[in-house]
Amino acid sequence: MTSQRNGGGTAPVQRRVLTVLIITQVVGTIGVGIAPSIGVLLADEVMHSEIGAGLARTASTLGAAIAGVPLGTLAARSGRRAALASGWWIAALGSAVLIAAAQLSLAVPLFIGLLLIGTGSAVSLQSRFAATDLAEPHRRGRSLALVVWVGTLGSVLGPNLGVPGGWIAGATGLNVFAGAFLIAAACLALAGAIVFLALRPDPLLVLRERLAAAPAPAGPHRGRIARVIGELRVNAQARYAFIAIVTAQIVMVSVMTMTPVHLSHQGGSITLVGLTISLHVVGMYALAPVVGLIADRAGARFSIAIGIAVFVASLVVGAARPSDTGWIVTSLILLGIGWSFVNVAGSALFSAVISDETRATSQGGVDALSNLSGAAAALAAGPLMMLTSFSALSIAAIVVLVPLAVLTARRVRTP
């Protein structure tokens, strides 16, 4: 059971926390946003295959999955500040590795760099949970959605770093990919510095003091994953929220991963690919405050149901009009909106029903399992599209939605 919190005494701290998270989310997501577009195109260029592009997306998503539990563990031990700063700096290191990989067309450093930069995605995800630590119960959805929403700016700019990357290339001798990753590295390092210096007091430590709870005991990652699974077994609402988060990630990652390659093979330029992914990201984040408000007022199940409907509309368009660039862009925008409704509502529900005593560990574990599922989806998307078509990939994603749709139709009890 979650503990009741008196928001009055922590309201000023919560405002400061949200301000810091908003700033770092914008700066950091500029660096993170490079992986789904420029990172995938670089992999396609280095490896000359759809499978290579799928592996690139898998690497960054797997990096987020691997980082989820350690960051959650670090937060449980030392607070959000240490966990978030460390994650941004690890992602900055990954972007630095990608500068060399891009310049020298090296496959192994490419995947190492993408693995490390994926940590930034894990940090961005955990930032949304940090926004709920001190939020009043009736404002959790809106607080979480606000941090998700402000990431729109960075996530939209990230896929378009190829343009300023070209400017840097002309001035430094780096190629356009290396120039883009240089900008990403600087943004990620700055995000880590801001959160490390400014996230004081730490929201999770303040919450812990209010609950008079001791830090979570140290233990192996396996034990912490087992703890998350154990809670999911006995907590039906948390289990439903988890299924929603995972399903949204699988559907979104599988289709979005292969869209840059699909457009490129149809003659689309790097600018068109960047614009398409940017519009997709706008769909993912722009409506987040609306989703949070709907989730707080009408319930998470209602928001998730809307998301499923939008997902289906997106995938039907993608399956029916795969050769029409305008319709593919429309499909990607709808894909982002569907993800927003399901992910934001599911995340807010999970934060509301998970126990306060294990919240950091459980949140990190759920993000890890979600990103592992996304990594598997990205890995499967490349061969599937190579052997079939973009239309078949869209149809397969519709099938993935069926279990969540059934659970939602059964009116899972939500707050």
b/e sequence 304-343, b meaning 16+ C-beta within 10 Å: bbbbbebbbbbbebbbebbeeeeebbbbbbbbbbbbbbbb
The pLDDT score that the predictor gives to residue 405 is: 95
Tell me how crowded residue 167 is: count the other CB atoms within 10 A of its CB: 12
With b meaning 16 or more CB within 10 Å and e meaning fewer, what string describes 241-280?
Answer: bbbbbbbbbbbbbbbbbbbbbbbbeeebebebbbbbbbbb
The pair of structure tokens assigned to 281 is 């990201």
Radius of gyration of the chain (CA): 20
pLDDT at residue 126, rounded to an integer: 87
pLDDT of residue 408: 94
For the chain, the domains span 9-409
Burial of 393 (C-beta count, 10 Å sphere; 0-12/13-18/19+): buried
Q: Tell me what pLDDT residue 357 has.
A: 65
Tell me how crowded residue 218 is: count the other CB atoms within 10 A of its CB. Answer: 10
Q: pTM for the full model?
A: 0.72
pLDDT digits (tens, 9 = 90+) for 324-348: 878 888 998 999 999 999 999 998 8
pLDDT for the residue 268: 58
Task: Output the 3-class SS for 85-113.
Answer: HHHHHHHHHHHHHHHHHHHHCCHHHHHHH
One-letter identity of residue 5: R
Q: Do residues 129 and 347 touch, judged by C-beta distance below 8 A?
A: yes
- Specify the pLDDT at position 403: 95
d(CA 159, CA 153): 11
Query: Residue 117: which of 63, 38, 58 has the closest Cα?
Result: 63
Q: Supply the pLDDT for residue 216.
A: 46
Judge if the upstream peptide bond of residue 201 is cis by omega within 30 degrees of 0: yes
Q: Domain 9-409 class?
A: mainly alpha
In whole angstroms, what is the distance from residue 253 CA to residue 371 CA?
9
Q: Helices 80-104 and 107-130, interaxial angle, to 10°?
A: 160
Strands (E), 119-208: none
Burial class (CB in 10 A: 0-12, 13-18, 19+), 34: buried
- The Cα–Cα gap between 326 and 334 comes to 13
User: Which of helix, strand or coil describes residue 258?
Assistant: helix
Output the six-digit token pair for 51: 């499978």
Work out the number of other CB atoms within 10 angstroms of the CB of residue 217: 10
Spatial distance between the Cα atoms of 399 and 403, rounded to a whole number of angstroms: 8
Q: What is the pLDDT along the chain (415 residues), one digit of tens a residue?
A: 444 444 445 688 888 999 999 999 989 988 887 766 677 777 777 776 666 666 776 787 788 888 887 888 888 888 899 999 999 999 999 999 999 988 888 888 988 998 999 899 889 888 888 888 887 777 777 888 888 888 777 766 766 666 676 777 677 778 878 888 888 899 999 999 999 999 989 888 887 777 654 444 444 444 555 666 777 788 889 999 999 999 999 999 888 877 777 776 666 566 677 677 778 877 887 888 888 889 888 889 999 999 999 999 999 998 898 878 788 889 989 999 999 999 999 988 998 888 766 777 778 878 888 878 877 887 788 788 878 888 899 999 999 999 999 999 986 444 4
Residue type, 214: A
- The DSSP symbol for 134 reads S
| pLDDT value at residue 414 | 44
pLDDT of amino acid 415:
45
